Structure 1
Amino acid sequence: MTPASAVRRDQLRRHTRRVGGALASILGLLLLAGAPQPRALADAEKAADAERAVDVAPVRAGRRDGRLIRVPLPITGAVDTQVIAAANEALRDMPDGPERPVLIFEFSSSGGETGEGSDFGRSLALARYLADPDASTALTVAYVPEVLKGHAVLPAIACEEIIMGREGSQIGEAGIDEPPEQSPNATLRSGYRETAERRRTIPPEVALAMLDKNLELLKVETDLGPEFALRSELDELRERRTFGESDITVLSPPGELLLLSGNEARQNGFAKYLVADRAKLAEELNLPLSALDDNPSLGGEWRPVRVLLEGPITPRAVSDVRRTIATQVRDRGVNFVCLEIDSPGGSLADSMSLVDFLANQDPAKVRIVAYVPVSAQADAALVAMAADQLVVKHDAVLGGKGELDASPEEIELVREPLRDNVDRGVAQNWSLTAALVDPSVRVYRYTNRRTGSVAYFSPEELAERDDAEEWNQGAEVTRGDQPLRVTGDRAGELGMARHVVEDFADLKRQYNLEGEIALAEPSWADHRIDALAAPAVAWMLLLIGGAALYAELQVPGIGIGAFVAGICFLLFFWSRFLDGTANWLEVLLFAAGICCVLLELFVLPGTGIFGLGGGLLVIVSLVLASQTFVIPHNAYEMRELRNSLLSLLAVGVCLGVAAMIMRRYLPHSPLFSMMMLEPPSHAELEDLSQRESMANFAHLLGMHGIAMTQLTPSGKARFAGELVDVIADSEVIDRGAEVVVSEVHGTRVVVRSAAGRA
């Protein structure tokens, strides 16, 4: 306790004693007068309690208003006009308050682009808008969570403040798209200098060093503090400031564009804060976390649609939801999906598959809002929490036992994917969500000693936080013997739900949605796809396709086997594509693998490289086509990968058995006897061996001939009018080349290139 607070507390005690003494005197007089007043005493005690509470209650300042606008990278096309329209709309919507509202411009991309390739004209137009005095009604903040390069740097330095990511963030190399052999022209230099001089977020000299690699940037410790100067301007600085040669540090040598890490930008005063994620960004700017939600409409209009998830969670229900959302976003340009959930749960694995799908949606393209009017119990609650935002009715139910029947080991696997979503910035905490299905997760109310903010998480999650020492533990919100079950009102109090509404019309008002919202439902074709996409049917298609391909390889030419195999593989990848687990990458890998195997069998036999590589490509393509991820990041995804590999192994074993059966029995059947080559009998093999042993090509030794086919290494050559099967000795010989017989072993004729021998 500080001395000041101790003095205040002592004064409060003396004041309370005086108030208590006065009240006791008054009470005695009233009793003597025969007119007792217990209510007055109770009110006085309440007032004293409230006065004592004022001294110990944390003081929280009011939150500012703000909006986040994502700037897609690179800045090309109509990006500048879309961002400006979104900013103008945000300024109109934000109410007036005692503090300036905040506009955060996040320079990022879902595809990992860094801004290279940005158009200078578009970037300059956006920078001039941000640096214009009319835009100063709001505090403009450039948020650079990762790497920002190219001319996209220009609008970032036009903002009043720059905030960068704590890990791996960089800003600079603005001239990376300019021809390396030329210096930036006067227009480019003028644009960067003008923008930097308007805001002074970054000094003009620093901005020019990011643009022009021929400039040398210096940091000079002068008598009035550090300043930044170009080498060509150093003499001019000497006339105004006092410093020595030891006070000069080279930040960017000639021949290199200036690129600053987040730490370097912070140390030099260019970046105001370094933050780990959006939650920390909101905390530093004193904004509610909801202010940093992505707005996929980007200055345009919402294009909403409703998708239903009703009844128990099943593979078919999850497949319908995934396919419907993917189709609406991809083909119809929908940017607002209302996922209406009324489900008791029922399948943890299928729910986690849908959770993974929702978490991988790009919030810059589509906002997914889960709406729970009645209940989302057990694992269905995990689906609701995986959406960008959750909206519930007052009396709705979230979490609880439901119809989930899973072992404690299966339930424990939920934690790691939820942790992964937190690490990727998809969710803010994992333990409160995990408690909806896992009774072993104990969640408490925590209060931040520094900011007074309240959050809910488990001690295990608290230990994983960087600011763990700032939180004070309060009351527990879970029960140790049952999963967490909350009403809609309670979900709002715990911060799980963004809005608590009366009905669907109230939800529409919260998001400014007008008119009727269309309900997207699976069509009859979707149900047929569900049948094809069922794991058993999908793997059966692969088995039939593989067996048909084997049958085709036993028959010369392309026939019914190749046709059936092609249809089976086409149906497999089509169903996987529509189910959202396959794309062109998997199809191309599979086709490349088949081509490599055929190349090994018919063109380059014996090398082994194409055969092994092709087989590996086929296996990788089939595994990727059966799951939504490439590299597993948690225990749940590891289990999915294991199941895919086991299923593929089972298909391989069945295919081997089918090949043996086909080779043994099908050649004797009436239907396939005309299509497959029947293997020779034992008597025929002995006769063939005897005939081959009688053949003698010793007379060809040393003879010259012409290769009639390419020898790779086997092929045919003609010697004195006789066409003979030959094998090249350790080389590939082109068709038409002259060859000479070097060895003869019965029917095996070995040749070499006559030119090489000469």
Structure 2
Amino acid sequence: MSWTKFWGLLPLLAVPIWQEPGQDSAKPEAPAVDEALPPVVVVRFEGTLQEAWASMLRRAETVIQQQGAAGLLMELDTPGGQMDLMVRLGDQLMAIGEETETVAYVTRNAMSAGAYLAMACQQIWMAPGASMGSSMPIAAPGGIPIPIQDEDIREKMVSGARAQFRSFAERTGRNPAVAEAFVDNQMEVKRISLYGEERVVSGKGYEDLLQQGEQPRLLETICKRGELLALDVEQAKRVGYCNDTASSRTELLELFGWQNHPVLEIESTWSERLASTIGGFSWLLLLGALFCLVVAFNVPGLGVPELLAVALLALFLFHGYLIALAEWTEVLMVIGGLILIALEIFVFPGTLFAGIAGALLLAAGLLLSMQSFALPRNPVEMTTFRNNLLILLGLAVVAPLLAITAFRKITKTPLGRHMVVGPTQDFGGPIQQRGGMGASGEAESSKVAEGARGYCRTPLRPSGTVVVDGVPLDAMSTGGFLEAGQAIQVLRRQGGSLLVAAVPDRVAEDVAELDQNGVQSSEPETNRPNGGELGT
């Protein structure tokens, strides 16, 4: 090869070796973003349905309301999830659709509940090779899917889901027969031609046309009986469940004319990730709160169980707020219920009205913070309402049993005996360590005659310690809470303690003599018992 030819090849070596023939070395410039234009809000939902998505949609709606967004683009790739969460997310998307244009972009799969979310948007676009459908409901207690063996139960669940999908398809102007076939494998879907017009009908609708004497021409059986409907891109286009395809977000934005609009992507925050972590196990927070409340009533004065109960309830309500279930109404109902219960215990003991009203208000607040509706309006909401009600009733029974059992076990350990003190002049409780503890306490209380009188050494709430004939004994009040120093009368023995009632017009005296025997009273001089002799 001559040097002339060699020098002639040098210009070719200046071209990058990775450049393909005919490829322009200059990269295409990204479209210029005009900040003056309204933004396009983007949310990406990947994986199984998560409760954090409700919070992300709420933040997206806030941005749309405040900035007047050009539209909402939801990128979707999900195998599905819980039906009650599906309905809530669908309702949120429908509400956003009343304020701006909503577009679902199925990047890969929109199966089961994902198909429902796609239907909630005004337009559905799919990436090449994407699919949607196949929404057979399954039982998933605690988030664990299990097959439904009972045919009656399966039919009830399928009929409820079928009605939900059908009504939602009608609301969004799509073919309801296709939506039902997503859910029920007993549905057939056919594409026919009648009088030159193409239609998509159910198998029953096709048979009805034949019985009416019509002669529809069968073009395609989209879904056979015994199969759940899953649509590819071309099938989705033919049945009106896909507007068109786009290979990327950039292409989709260009097709809508949004390439110059600023894109605001809503990403999950730490609090929303926390909500997803808690997920369907938020009832454990309620169990822990009720457990701590029962412990607090058994061991008043420690403070730790009360603080834990408040913290767990606050976390439960915060979780409900993040997933768009608990609003300020539910929070105020729970706080009001707790206040009424506290008034019943500490201010108006024995009246029952405040306690019952507080318990009902607390239960109603907790129930409403677990669902997005007040009263059920459809089969899906009825199932959710029933499950939430059963959870609350179960917790109301299980939590006290667990707390009492654990309390008895803990108090037998060295640490438990150190933490749990006996009744003192400050408070009284059901766990006593003087007087009624053991055989000697039972022997002392057995010597007390019915009708004997004394006074409360500690407050009875309703249990505590009384003094009869100079001897401190365990006792329980029959008429609500009694303050220290209140005169009492023994009604009868009950196990190793006494059952007593207040004597408002008769009090004891000679407390100083009892104090000399080691029984101290916390009452001031003006409140000390006087008038009459103990035990008389």
| TM-score range normalised by the length of the shorter chain | 0.5 to 0.7
SS across alignment from 1:305: strand
Look up the match of 1:579: 323
- 1:693 maps to a residue whose letter is G
Of 235, 239, 244, 1:490 maps to: 235
Change (3 A) 1:421 1:382: closer
CA contact 1:693–1:746 (8 Å) conserved in 2:
no
Structure 1 position 593, deviation (Å): 1.6
CA contact 2:119–2:172 (8 Å) conserved in 1:
no
Change (3 A) 1:675 1:560: farther
CA contact 1:447–1:472 (8 Å) conserved in 2:
no
CA contact 1:399–1:486 (8 Å) conserved in 2:
yes
CA contact 2:86–2:117 (8 Å) conserved in 1:
yes
The gaps in structure 2 that reach 5 residues or longer are 1-35, 139-144, 149-153, 424-428, 456-478, 490-499, 507-536
CA contact 1:359–1:387 (8 Å) conserved in 2:
yes
Look up the match of 1:438: 184
Structure 1 position 501, deviation (Å): 3.8
CA contact 1:351–1:383 (8 Å) conserved in 2:
no
Look up the match of 1:330: 62
CA contact 2:80–2:110 (8 Å) conserved in 1:
no
Structure 1 position 686, deviation (Å): 6.7
Look up the match of 1:681: 437
CA offsets per residue over residues 608-650 of structure 1, 9 Å max, x none? Answer: 3332232222222222222233222222222222222232233
- 1:381 maps to a residue whose letter is A
- 1:695 maps to a residue whose letter is R
Matched, 1:352 2:86: yes
Structure-2 separation of matches of 1:716 and 1:607: 13
1:460-479 matches, within 5 Å, as: 475=218, 476-479=221-224
Look up the match of 2:99: 365
Look up the match of 1:392: 126
Structure-1 separation of matches of 2:215 and 2:161: 27
CA offsets per residue over residues 41-77 of structure 1, 9 Å max, x none? Answer: xxxxxxxxxxxxxxxxxxxxxxxxxxxxxxxxxxxxx
Look up the match of 1:651: 395
Structure 1 position 670, deviation (Å): 3.2
Matched, 1:341 2:69: no
CA contact 2:136–2:182 (8 Å) conserved in 1:
no
Structure 1 position 577, deviation (Å): 1.0
CA contact 1:445–1:477 (8 Å) conserved in 2:
yes
CA contact 2:46–2:76 (8 Å) conserved in 1:
yes
Look up the match of 1:560: 304
Structure 1 position 579, deviation (Å): 2.0
- 1:413 maps to a residue whose letter is G
Matched, 1:588 2:332: yes
1:274-423 matches, within 5 Å, as: 302-311=38-47, 313=48, 317-330=49-62, 333=66, 335=69, 336-343=71-78, 345=79, 347=81, 349=83, 352-353=86-87, 355-358=89-92, 361-393=95-127, 395-400=129-134, 407=148, 409=155, 410-421=157-168
Structure-2 separation of matches of 1:385 and 1:746: 67
Structure-1 separation of matches of 2:56 and 2:309: 29
CA contact 1:395–1:487 (8 Å) conserved in 2:
yes
SS across alignment from 1:361: helix
CA offsets per residue over residues 489-511 of structure 1, 9 Å max, x none? Answer: 33223222234445433422343
Structure-1 separation of matches of 2:345 and 2:360: 16
1:196-235 matches, within 5 Å, as: none
1:533-544 matches, within 5 Å, as: 533-536=278-281, 538-544=282-288
Change (3 A) 1:395 1:725: same
Change (3 A) 1:553 1:485: closer
Change (3 A) 1:348 1:605: closer
SS across alignment from 1:416: helix
CA contact 2:454–2:487 (8 Å) conserved in 1:
no
Structure 1 position 437, deviation (Å): 4.0
- 1:575 maps to a residue whose letter is H
Structure 1 position 385, deviation (Å): 1.8
SS across alignment from 1:693: coil
Structure-1 separation of matches of 2:384 and 2:403: 29
CA offsets per residue over residues 326-375 of structure 1, 9 Å max, x none? Answer: 223236747432111234x2546377356544455342235432101333
Structure 1 position 652, deviation (Å): 2.1
CA contact 1:444–1:474 (8 Å) conserved in 2:
no
Structure 1 position 479, deviation (Å): 2.2
Matched, 1:526 2:262: no
SS across alignment from 1:436: helix
Structure 1 position 578, deviation (Å): 0.8
Change (3 A) 1:597 1:696: closer
Structure 1 position 551, deviation (Å): 2.7
Higher relative contact order (CA 8 A, sep 6+): 2
Matched, 1:481 2:226: yes
Structure-2 separation of matches of 1:543 and 1:371: 40
Change (3 A) 1:583 1:716: closer
Look up the match of 2:368: 624
SS across alignment from 1:606: coil
Look up the match of 2:252: 507
- 1:488 maps to a residue whose letter is V
Structure 1 position 573, deviation (Å): 0.8
- Per mean C-alpha deviation after superposition, the further-off stretch among 659-668 and 390-399 is 659-668
Structure-1 separation of matches of 2:313 and 2:501: 45
Q: How many residues are aligned here?
A: 401
CA contact 1:420–1:634 (8 Å) conserved in 2:
no
Structure-2 separation of matches of 1:580 and 1:472: 51
- 1:482 maps to a residue whose letter is E
CA contact 1:692–1:747 (8 Å) conserved in 2:
no
Structure-1 separation of matches of 2:217 and 2:443: 89
Structure-1 separation of matches of 2:299 and 2:289: 16
CA contact 1:444–1:457 (8 Å) conserved in 2:
yes
- 1:338 maps to a residue whose letter is L
The gaps in structure 1 that reach 5 residues or longer are 1-299, 464-468, 698-712, 718-722, 728-744, 752-758
- Per mean C-alpha deviation after superposition, the further-off stretch among 584-593 and 648-657 is 648-657
- Per mean C-alpha deviation after superposition, the further-off stretch among 538-547 and 604-613 is 604-613
Structure 1 position 402, deviation (Å): 11
CA contact 2:52–2:322 (8 Å) conserved in 1:
no
Structure-1 separation of matches of 2:125 and 2:105: 5
CA contact 1:341–1:373 (8 Å) conserved in 2:
yes
- 1:349 maps to a residue whose letter is M
- Per mean C-alpha deviation after superposition, the further-off stretch among 355-364 and 634-643 is 355-364
CA contact 1:307–1:338 (8 Å) conserved in 2:
yes
CA contact 2:112–2:136 (8 Å) conserved in 1:
yes
- 2:110 maps to a residue whose letter is A
Look up the match of 1:694: 452
SS across alignment from 1:376: strand
SS across alignment from 1:564: helix
CA contact 2:371–2:385 (8 Å) conserved in 1:
yes
Structure 1 position 569, deviation (Å): 0.9
CA contact 2:169–2:179 (8 Å) conserved in 1:
no
SS across alignment from 2:225: coil
Matched, 1:641 2:375: no
CA offsets per residue over residues 94-134 of structure 1, 9 Å max, x none? Answer: xxxxxxxxxxxxxxxxxxxxxxxxxxxxxxxxxxxxxxxxx
- 2:437 maps to a residue whose letter is S
CA contact 2:350–2:480 (8 Å) conserved in 1:
no
Look up the match of 2:142: none
Change (3 A) 1:652 1:716: closer
SS across alignment from 2:74: strand
Structure 1 position 589, deviation (Å): 1.5
Structure-2 separation of matches of 1:746 and 1:604: 17
Structure 1 position 512, deviation (Å): 2.6
